[in-house]
């Protein structure tokens, strides 16, 4: 039975490689100074006409937690907790290792309270013992039972002089802050006060860091705060460490590199049931012993050639090639632009690698000669090896390579050629040019990712979230324009276009009208 279980693990698809994820923990500290409760006009698209910084901070935390409830992998985000800058008995708000479902319910309840209620319940009237508060934050990190990779403390405050003119309080606060780095705590300062003067206190705190002076991050509204906190909590990509072997047949010399994979959006498919006990849904695999033996067939022209079982497949794909990238030769590009048969990754040099000049020499040669590095890749044991090309790129002020699989013959499909029967005359009048401009302008819009939604996915997501959180199901509105709406917007311009160019858009034969959902997907 143990052998079968090992085979199951080894037979996982190459694209589902499990990352040895080291958890990072984020502690969001929200100040309760009176400056956090000054009401202001709400710049965001919310129902309230007025808000204050404290409520914006709670709403930002709620939106981030709510977006993670259906995350498919724990390795896609860092767990976070919330503390309030107040006395010990009031400071604890949400523990880092709290159940996410409970945290969402708690934050939703707090966000539903009025500005006056939050001010009455949480505003701090006494001066803050900043040193004691920093010590409390360190204790919160020590209480975490899991081994952690990194700890981040984000302090949201509008008070630029927390110690006032008290030299003793300032000295003790800076002494506590000085111990952040030895305790692997990364301190971040976020303010919603555009008149925040960092020179009054926090400049000295930042100069204690060996990384040099750090400035505060200014967030004028809730949406900006969501973006700032999301960058520290939700991971945009994962890193996998490998070796790059530049000398064919020589496995003793190699460079340490990292493969970066961008995390895809969580998917929710074929969900018919949801948890009724408040627990997060998880995928459960059936017992291997209850399944039929997996069979693999090799065939040609629909005629069975040979049948294999799991053990046979394991033996075939097993090889002694070390994990990583093995350079085979340098050549022109093999895959055309836009031809992508698998998830695209980036290859970066490991920051700890000392032989960075060799990596740069490969990169510079490929740039100067317009070449690519053709390598064999192997990401896990056992695994079939595959040819990839490393295409030199420059992004985020860094030299890197784009990793693209080289397609086999049966994977390469050339799109059908589009033949234009009648070309437009090169002698275009000014009226015709203006008609083209008007049509383009009418079909143009300011792009925002949030305006495109998948209605089917959104409805499934709303249903499952309602069951998990024991709340009424959210109403999903499809805001994407369908074909009829677009036709209505451009009818007048299209008629002028037809008359000026003497063309007809009539369709030969009657076609079945597509459902709105399919039309929306095409537009997207």
Q: Considering the entire predicted model, what is its pTM?
A: 0.67
What per-residue confidence (pLDDT) applies to 1?
28
- DSSP class per residue in 115-131: HHHHHHHH---SPP-HH
Backbone angles phi, psi at 346, to 5 degrees: -115, 145
For residues 223, 226, 228 and 233, what is the CA-based torsion angle, rounded to 10 degrees? Answer: -170
- The side-by-side arrangement of strands in the sheet containing 217-218 is 92-94, 79-85, 24-31, 150-156, 185-191, 217-218
Cα separation, 239 vs 258, whole angstroms = 6
Nearest to 115 by CA among 178, 186, 50, 59: 50
Backbone angles phi, psi at 452, to 5 degrees: -105, 120
Cα separation, 162 vs 511, whole angstroms = 70
Nearest to 313 by CA among 332, 333, 294, 329: 294
Long-range contacts formed by 135-143: CB under 8 A, 24+ apart: 135/176, 136/83, 136/88, 136/91, 137/27, 137/29, 137/83, 137/185, 138/176, 138/179, 138/180, 138/183, 138/185, 140/27, 140/81, 140/83, 140/95, 140/96, 141/25, 141/27, 141/183, 141/185, 143/95
Cα separation, 208 vs 202, whole angstroms = 10
Q: What is the 3-state secondary structure (H, E, C) of 164-228?
A: CCCHHHHHHHHHHHHCCCCCCEEEEEEECCCCCCHHHCHHHHHHCCCCCCCCCEECCCHHHHHHH
Residue 394 burial (C-beta neighbours within 10 Å; 0-12, 13-18, 19+): exposed
Cα separation, 117 vs 520, whole angstroms = 43
CB-based contact 402:366 (threshold 8 Å): no
Torsion 40-42-46-47 (CA) sign? positive
CA 327 to chain centre: 31
Nearest to 470 by CA among 65, 163, 101, 120: 101
CB-based contact 157:120 (threshold 8 Å): no
For residues 87, 29, 190 and 154, what is the CA-based torsion angle, rounded to 10 degrees? Answer: 140
- CA 81 to each of CA 64, 96, 140, 151, 329: distance values in angstroms, whole numbers, following the listed order: 12, 4, 9, 11, 50
CA 351 to chain centre: 22
Maximum C-alpha span of the chain? 87
Q: Which residues pair with 190 in a beta bridge?
A: 156, 217
What per-residue confidence (pLDDT) applies to 242?
92
- Provide the residue-wise pLDDT of the chain in tens; the chain has 524 residues: 223 222 222 333 333 333 445 678 999 999 999 999 998 877 665 555 789 999 999 999 999 998 888 776 667 788 899 999 987 777 888 888 888 888 999 999 999 999 999 999 999 988 888 999 999 999 999 888 887 888 999 999 999 899 888 889 899 999 888 888 888 888 999 999 999 988 888 888 888 766 555 667 888 889 999 999 998 888 877 888 899 999 888 888 899 999 988 876 566 654 444 455 545 556 665 555 555 566 677 776 777 777 777 777 777 777 888 899 999 999 999 887 777 777 889 999 988 887 778 899 999 999 999 999 999 999 888 777 889 999 999 988 889 999 999 887 766 666 666 555 555 556 788 888 888 888 888 888 777 766 777 777 788 888 888 888 888 888 877 766 666 777 777 888 888 888 888 776 554 444 444 444 333 333 33
What per-residue confidence (pLDDT) applies to 63?
92
What per-residue confidence (pLDDT) applies to 514?
44
Cα separation, 518 vs 524, whole angstroms = 10
Nearest to 469 by CA among 276, 319, 325: 276
Nearest to 174 by CA among 205, 199, 129: 205
């Amino acid at each position: 039975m143990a052998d079968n279980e090992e085979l199951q693990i080894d037979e996982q698809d190459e694209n589902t490689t499990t990352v040895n994820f080291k958890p990072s923990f984020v502690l969001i500290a929200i100040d309760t100074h009176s400056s956090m409760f000054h009401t202001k006009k709400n710049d965001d698209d919310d129902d309230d006409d007025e808000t204050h910084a404290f409520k914006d901070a709670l709403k930002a935390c709620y939106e981030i937690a709510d977006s993670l409830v259906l995350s498919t992998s724990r390795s896609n985000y860092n767990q976070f907790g919330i503390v309030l800058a107040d006395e010990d008995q009031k400071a604890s708000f949400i523990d880092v290792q709290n159940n996410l479902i409970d945290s969402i319910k708690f934050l939703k309840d707090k966000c539903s309270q009025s500005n006056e209620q939050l001010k009455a319940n949480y505003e701090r009237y006494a001066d803050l013992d900043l040193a004691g508060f920093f010590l409390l934050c360190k204790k919160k990190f020590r209480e975490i039972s899991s081994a952690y990779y990194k700890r981040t403390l984000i302090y949201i405050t509008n008070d630029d002089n927390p110690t006032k003119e008290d030299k003793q309080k300032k000295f003790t606060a800076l002494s506590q802050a000085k111990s952040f780095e030895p305790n692997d705590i990364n301190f971040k300062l976020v303010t919603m006060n555009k008149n925040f003067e960092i020179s009054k206190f926090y400049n000295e705190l930042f100069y204690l860091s060996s990384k040099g002076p750090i400035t505060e991050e200014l967030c004028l509204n809730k949406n900006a705060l969501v973006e700032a906190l999301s960058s520290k909590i939700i991971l945009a990509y994962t890193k996998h460490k490998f070796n790059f072997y530049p000398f064919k047949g020589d496995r003793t010399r190699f460079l340490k590199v990292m493969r970066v994979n961008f995390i895809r959006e969580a998917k929710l498919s074929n969900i018919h049931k949801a948890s009724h006990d408040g627990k997060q849904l998880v995928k459960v695999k059936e017992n291997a012993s209850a399944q039929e033996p997996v069979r693999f067939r090799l065939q040609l022209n629909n005629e069975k050639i040979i049948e294999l079982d799991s053990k046979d497949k394991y033996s075939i794909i097993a090889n002694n090639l070390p994990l990583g990238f093995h350079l085979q030769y340098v050549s022109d590009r093999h895959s055309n632009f836009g031809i992508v048969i698998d998830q695209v990754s980036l290859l970066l040099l490991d920051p700890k690698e000392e032989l960075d000049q060799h990596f740069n020499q490969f990169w510079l040669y490929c740039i100067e000669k317009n070449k690519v590095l053709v390598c064999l890749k192997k990401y896990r044991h056992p695994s079939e090896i595959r040819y990839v090309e490393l295409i030199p790129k420059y992004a985020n002020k860094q030299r890197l390579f784009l990793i693209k699989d080289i397609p086999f013959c049966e994977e390469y499909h050339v799109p059908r050629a589009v033949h234009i029967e009648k070309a437009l005359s090169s002698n275009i009048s000014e009226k015709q040019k203006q008609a083209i401009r008007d049509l383009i302008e009418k079909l143009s819009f300011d792009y925002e990712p949030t305006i495109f939604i998948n209605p089917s996915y959104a409805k499934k997501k709303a249903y499952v979230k309602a069951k998990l959180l024991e709340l009424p199901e959210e109403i999903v509105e499809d805001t994407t324009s369908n074909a009829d709406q677009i036709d209505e917007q451009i009818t007048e311009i299209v008629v002028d276009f037809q008359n000026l160019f003497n063309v007809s858009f009539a369709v030969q034969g009657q076609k079945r009208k597509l459902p709105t959902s399919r039309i929306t997907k095409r537009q997207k």
